[in-house]
Amino acid sequence: MVSRVIPVDPFDLVIFGGTGDLARRKILPALYQRFRVGQMPPDARLIGAARSSHDAADYRAFAEAAIREFSDADRGSLAAFLDTLDYVTVDASGETGWAGLAERLQPGRVRAFYFSVAPGLFGDLAERVRLHGLADADTRIVVEKPFGRDLGSARALNKALAAHFDESQIYRIDHYLGKETVQNLMAIRFGNMLFEPLWNSQYVDHIQITVAETVGVGGRGEYYDRAGAMRDMMQNHLMQLLCLIAMEPPAKFDPDAVRDEKLKVIRALDPVPPHHIVRGQYGAGDSDNQPSYREAVDDPRSTTESYIALKAHISNWRWAGTPFYLRTGKRLVARSSVINVAFKDAPHSIFGEEAGRHANLLTIRLQPNEGITLRVTIKEPGPGGMRLVDVPLDMTFAEALGPEGGDPPDAYERLIMDVIRGNQTLFMRGDEVEAAWAWTDPIIAGWEARGDVPKPYDSGSVGPAEADQLLKRDQRQWRGINP
Ligand code: NAP
């Protein structure tokens, strides 16, 4: 099964912050890969923009080094890709360089501006792009996360962007939505007859969503210590997974139809009481000499969480009574993103008490080893009566699609091409982001008011023991982090 590549129209893409870490690690390698497979046309132009003074040759050398470090490169296509690059010195919050940028843009083609700079500059950039006449009704702007740190700041950002651009021109990136397997959630749910009739509180006992990382805060300590796992992961990535798992079927796979349904899920979320929340902070690694969280952020008294688990409820007809257990953390035992849909026990066992209790479990692995496993109950082979056993019906997508299925493109590859195509389905709408903050803010305000201190947990573990209690109290338990 060879994936089809449909070239996009020629475009001009300006990367503000083109010399930054994100451009180096993600944006430039992603664009190169799309060029290499023939999706980005050779006459497209990529213009790096930042305050530091460089010429096009410097920027090509920067991009070449980045692509060699973070991507597979072959010499022929890399040279041709580098030919599409240019650079202009521009100050987002001053007047330097804008005339030079205007000269480099070609009329009559798709034009996009990627704001890969600190969020404090988003408003300045939107204003200057508009005031310098660089945008028309079809121009797109791409903004990176974090989109605010609470409802107030997210609203202010939305307002600053809306002063110069229509919502249909604003592409807010949550790179999780660009992951092949995350989109597959919609295909699994709405492309199959099998699951949807059972996808409700009548048949589903509970749902677990886990996004576990093995890495610590690394070089992002300063930012992370002001954010924590709730703002950095739960409010956006886990919230998006929750929406895709819980939303009603949209009438069609169209940007606003999908985003309307996601928004309804967020708005139906109940407030989360304190005893449904567990925050944790990792200690030093025993075996790998890695620093503890407090050492990594250089604050021996930090009370920021590097782990959070919580129990959420969605108050609507489909989900009333079905808890959603969400957890995410750093320095955990494995890197994995997985969703477990635990079905209820059969209403009556015809096999009697001794057959034990058995329930189906659908495990959706987003990474690694993308695939799904359905645990089904069968008779244990052999004589000696009707004993039941649960066995996995397992499918790994890579095996099912065969070697020609190839590696899925990186999330940024898909998302940037969607910007050029003008498809907003995988981007967060302003009201969606605000609703997510409206749910998050009181949770954070609650623990700040209580002076809550995160529970310590060992690096390389599954998180604090208190998170196990969260489920044990409901006679449930977490599935393994590494399914
Ligand atoms: P970074 O490494 O600090 O780079 C910032 C870039 O912005 C540099 O190119 C810098 O170049 C430029 N810049 C700063 N002030 C400017 C101004 N006044 N006018 C024009 N350019 C200016 O930051 P980053 O890590 O790439 O992050 C960029 C954005 O992506 C941030 O919003 C961040 O939160 C988000 N993000 C990053 C990552 C990541 O993995 N890095 C992941 C998710 C989201 P000059 O100093 O030369 O101007």
Tens of pLDDT, residue by residue over 360-408, are: 999 999 888 888 999 999 988 888 778 888 999 988 877 777 666 667 7
Distance 137 CA to ligand 1 centre (A): 26
pTM of this structure = 0.94
Outline where DSSP puts E strands in 216-334.
Answer: 277-282, 307-312, 324-329
The class that CATH gives domain 11-144 is alpha beta
Q: Does 163 sit in the ligand 1 pocket, CB within 6 Å?
A: no
Q: What is the best residue among 21, 124, 125, 173 to mutate for testing ligand 1's pocket, by most ligand atoms within 8 Å of CB?
A: 21
The pLDDT assigned to 404 comes to 61
The pLDDT assigned to 408 comes to 73
Q: Does 118 sit in the ligand 1 pocket, CB within 6 Å?
A: yes
Q: Does 16 sit in the ligand 1 pocket, CB within 6 Å?
A: yes
Task: For residues 219 and 242, give the distance between their C-alpha atoms in angstroms, rounded to a whole number.
Answer: 29
What token pair was written down for 159? Answer: 């307002």
Task: For residues 8 and 40, give the distance between their C-alpha atoms in angstroms, rounded to a whole number.
Answer: 6
Is residue 291 within 8 Å of 174, Cβ to Cβ? no
Task: For residues 88 and 112, give the distance between their C-alpha atoms in angstroms, rounded to a whole number.
Answer: 15
Q: Which helix (H) or strand (E) holds 112?
A: strand 110-115
What single-letter amino acid sits at 353? E
Residues of the chain below pLDDT 50: 1
pLDDT in tens, 101-139: 999 999 999 999 999 999 999 999 999 999 999 998 889
The pLDDT assigned to 386 comes to 82
Find how far residue 445's CA is from the centre of its chain. Answer: 24
Fold of the domain built from segment(s) 177-410+430-472 = Dihydrodipicolinate Reductase; domain 2 (3.30.360)
The residue whose CA has the least distance to atom 37 of ligand 1 is: 22
Q: Does 27 sit in the ligand 1 pocket, CB within 6 Å?
A: no
Classify residue 105 by its DSSP letter. P
Q: Is 237 a known active-site residue?
A: yes
Domain locations in the chain?
Answer: 11-144, 177-410+430-472
Is residue 270 within 8 Å of 444, Cβ to Cβ? no
The residue whose CA has the least distance to atom 25 of ligand 1 is: 21
Q: Which helix (H) or strand (E) holds 192?
A: none
Q: What is the best residue among 70, 89, 93, 117 to mutate for testing ligand 1's pocket, by most ligand atoms within 8 Å of CB?
A: 117
Q: Is the sign of the CA dihedral 451, 452, 457, 459 positive or negative?
A: negative
Task: For residues 129 and 47, give the distance between their C-alpha atoms in angstroms, rounded to a whole number.
Answer: 14
The catalytically annotated residue of 164, 206, 237, 276 is 237
Task: For residues 126 and 420, give the distance between their C-alpha atoms in angstroms, rounded to a whole number.
Answer: 18
